[in-house]
Structure 1
């Protein structure tokens, strides 16, 4: 039994309150399910960003059904108790529409610009694993105690208590991260792996079907009998000819035209007319299980015709 498709917009080019409200309303009009915001305080790599939790509270008041999420918060920027308080409040103010996306943090230059220690990957990932356990307890309405290597919580509860725990979303690319996401998250975003030096891998191999299938297997193995939603961020390339659109992607990404056939098979690449993109999404749901796709706000209008083709 397949999950229904969901579609999100990543509001990465929003720079003002007016743009935020307009994008949120337009996303809702076009049939998107979720608006997500990134979490950066340096201009690279996506341009300047509004603070996500505050901005999403504002977007909630401009919409009625659109879900609101973070894609993703850096765990190191907020203590999990403070984050649980903000998440519970935002979930309450939005009428239960909030989805909490969290990652281990990866952009070294951002940490350094803020004077924050950029610890080795194992420490950052270990903190994230502990945070997720604390957040599951607090946002699940439980009186939470936790003692770990990084955090110690003694009998706390969160107010306002969520009517149902907001979904936890984790973006992950490495085996350990994918295992943690499979154990604790409700939605797992499959990503290229983050590199120890503080960037994201641009290797073609990280995007090939066998690599993605292996990553999905690691998530499912860790999830056990829990039903985890699989997600991916994509930037479709539309055009009447899928082959020509794929060649354009291969050249733009610096992989060369010889990689055109590889691009056609990449689970993160969707090329051609909307009908072809919808067919690709159905095929990849069957093969890998992906049902939640997010597109950047710059592609929001162009991608919209795909949504009714996949509406359940």
Structure 2
């Protein structure tokens, strides 16, 4: 029986043209009933996450803020842990730390950072998590690994949430999802992005999603039932005619060979009436145990009736 956790919904965005519009945006997210407000961590995005998320937390009362996800290669884990603990403390314990191994080669090249093979990046993330968790839970941090060495570093301040803010790890391949199953509180089941930046068509299927859940289950063991599983939804189309909407989407995107049936079965897209989308979300929880859904701010208002129906249920 999949884990039947209550539904949560989150909004991810990049920036806003002004302080006033940023505050207006995050307050609308809160008013619409979303649980989290999230930022990705890319040089190609306008706002870096930590400063912008502190402003978001300060402008709201209950909305949780977080990263989706930090690129581990952009910061030393000891510094990141200190920044996160500070943000969690100053936000009243409303921060969620999302971590990833990095995947977007062009920004590495633009910033002059080496883009190591996936195994090296994942090894580095695993060591970083060790440092970060020690910082949150111990008085001092001492760690010696292949990529990081920390010696008797005083670990302060402490986050308000104990033992630490919830940790989300996102990924699409077996190695990263195995790490997530062992170490994360929330596991985001992503499409697997090749080093070339492409995604294989097979990734958009329920069969591929089921395999990812199984990798997490095998790695998590007895703690699997306590994990929260997440999907990032790439597109929301509210319509009374699912078939027609799918066919139009395929024509607009120029995807020869793709069928409406394949698109409608894509677990990373919601297409249909509000009632059909509600049923699809319920089915994803019943079949896979997925209860936390994140979508771009462009879709937050159109999905708001679904959020009102399902959030917390």
**From 110, 129, 134, the counterpart of 1:132:** 129
Following superposition, the deviation at residue 136 of structure 1 comes to 1.9
SS in 1 for 2:10: strand
In the TM superposition, what are the counterparts of 1:230-249 in structure 2 within 5 Å? 230-234=229-233, 235-249=235-249
Spell out, residue by residue over 1:97-119, the C-alpha distance to the aligned partner (whole angstroms, 9 max, x if none). Answer: 00011111111110111111111
Runs of 4+ more than 4 Å apart = none
**From 214, 217, 221, the counterpart of 1:220:** 217
Gaps of 5+ in 2: none
Query: Does the C-alpha gap of structure 1 residues 123 and 258 become closer, same or farther in structure 2, counting only changes over 3 Å?
Result: closer
User: Which residue number corresponds to residue 45 of structure 1?
Assistant: none
Moved more, 298-307 or 257-266: 257-266
User: Which residue number corresponds to residue 23 of structure 1?
Assistant: 25
Please say if residues 69 and 99 of structure 2, whose CA atoms lie closer than 8 Å, have aligned partners that are also in contact.
Answer: yes
Spell out, residue by residue over 1:139-165, the C-alpha distance to the aligned partner (whole angstroms, 9 max, x if none). Answer: 234533222111122233422212311
Spell out, residue by residue over 1:56-85, the C-alpha distance to the aligned partner (whole angstroms, 9 max, x if none). Answer: 011111001000001111100000000000
Q: Relative contact order, CA 8 A, sep 6+: which one is greater?
A: 2
TM-score normalised according to structure 1 size: 0.93
**From 88, 92, 98, the counterpart of 1:91:** 88
CA distance in 2, matches of 1:93, 1:13: 21
Moved more, 101-110 or 15-24: 15-24
CA distance in 2, matches of 1:15, 1:137: 38
User: Which residue number corresponds to residue 182 of structure 2?
Assistant: 183
Query: Does the C-alpha gap of structure 1 residues 115 and 159 become closer, same or farther in structure 2, counting only changes over 3 Å?
Result: same
Following superposition, the deviation at residue 298 of structure 1 comes to 0.8
In the TM superposition, what are the counterparts of 1:1-312 in structure 2 within 5 Å? 2-42=4-44, 48-141=45-138, 143-163=140-160, 164=162, 165-197=164-196, 199-201=197-199, 203-226=200-223, 227-234=226-233, 235-256=235-256, 258-311=258-311, 312=313
TM-score normalised according to structure 2 size: 0.93
CA distance in 1, matches of 2:251, 2:112: 37
Following superposition, the deviation at residue 28 of structure 1 comes to 0.3
Following superposition, the deviation at residue 206 of structure 1 comes to 0.5
Please say if residues 13 and 297 of structure 1, whose CA atoms lie closer than 8 Å, have aligned partners that are also in contact.
Answer: no
Query: Does the C-alpha gap of structure 1 residues 257 and 273 become closer, same or farther in structure 2, counting only changes over 3 Å?
Result: farther
Please say if residues 173 and 194 of structure 1, whose CA atoms lie closer than 8 Å, have aligned partners that are also in contact.
Answer: yes
Following superposition, the deviation at residue 287 of structure 1 comes to 0.4
CA distance in 2, matches of 1:303, 1:30: 9
Please say if residues 76 and 104 of structure 1, whose CA atoms lie closer than 8 Å, have aligned partners that are also in contact.
Answer: yes
Please say if residues 140 and 152 of structure 2, whose CA atoms lie closer than 8 Å, have aligned partners that are also in contact.
Answer: yes
CA distance in 2, matches of 1:241, 1:76: 44
- After superposition, the CA RMSD in angstroms is 1.6
Following superposition, the deviation at residue 200 of structure 1 comes to 4.3
CA distance in 2, matches of 1:13, 1:21: 11
Gaps of 5+ in 1: 43-47
Please say if residues 84 and 159 of structure 2, whose CA atoms lie closer than 8 Å, have aligned partners that are also in contact.
Answer: no
Following superposition, the deviation at residue 254 of structure 1 comes to 4.0
CA distance in 1, matches of 2:175, 2:17: 35
CA distance in 1, matches of 2:265, 2:173: 21
